[in-house]
Every structure is written in structure tokens, then in C-alpha cells.
Amino acid sequence: MKKSEIIQLIDRHTLEEGVTNTPLEGLQLYRTIHPVKPILGVYEPSICAIVQGSKRAYLNGTTHIYDENQYLCCTRPLPVEAEVVE
């Protein structure tokens, strides 16, 4: 599947900003059209793939940037501060 097709598919299923649950258990889509300032939270075990834009996460003094070329794989709950950059 081409990237443009994935973007169209996500656009069809995320009618508004924020988290959208899907019929597939455990699969959520998140959409924002604006940068999001840093917020504190806990990443639960998950895989996060960015289709457009980029996200920055701060963990133990290290900055991690993930985007359409790098994904995040979290194997245990982790306290982080994260922001949507673009």
C-alpha cells in the first residue's frame, strides 16, 4: 500500500482531531492538524507509526524524534514528556 493510500484511509476514519478507536482491538488512530505543546504522560506498551509530521519525546534526559521514517516501539510502560512538532 502506498503512503498516499494510507493517508487517505486514515483521513476517512478520523473525522476530527484526537484519538479514534477502530474495530481492531488495540488499534487507535490519532490525528492533529496543529503542533501540540509538550505534555506529561505514560506510554503504554505499543508501536507508534507516524504517517505525516513528527513527534518528539523526552525520556530520562534524552530526546527521541520519530516521524514517517522512524517508529516508536515501547515494550513496557514509560513516563515521558512528548509533543507533536509538525
- State pLDDT tens for residues 11-70: 999 989 999 999 999 899 999 989 999 999 999 999 999 999 999 999 999 999 999 999
The cell numbers describing 62, all together, are 534524552
- Residue 78, phi then psi, degrees to nearest 5: -135, 130
Residue 35: what pLDDT?
A: 94
Beta-strand pair 36-43/46-48: unpaired
- Residue 9, phi then psi, degrees to nearest 5: -65, -45
| pLDDT of residue 74 exceeding 90 | yes
Residue 11: what pLDDT?
A: 92
Reported as a pLDDT band with limits 50, 70 and 90, residue 83 is very high
What are the residue ranges spanned by the domains of the chain?
A: 1-31, 34-86
Q: What's the CA gap between 25 and 23, in Å, rounded? A: 6
Residue 1: what pLDDT?
A: 87
DSSP bridge pairs for 81: 40, 58
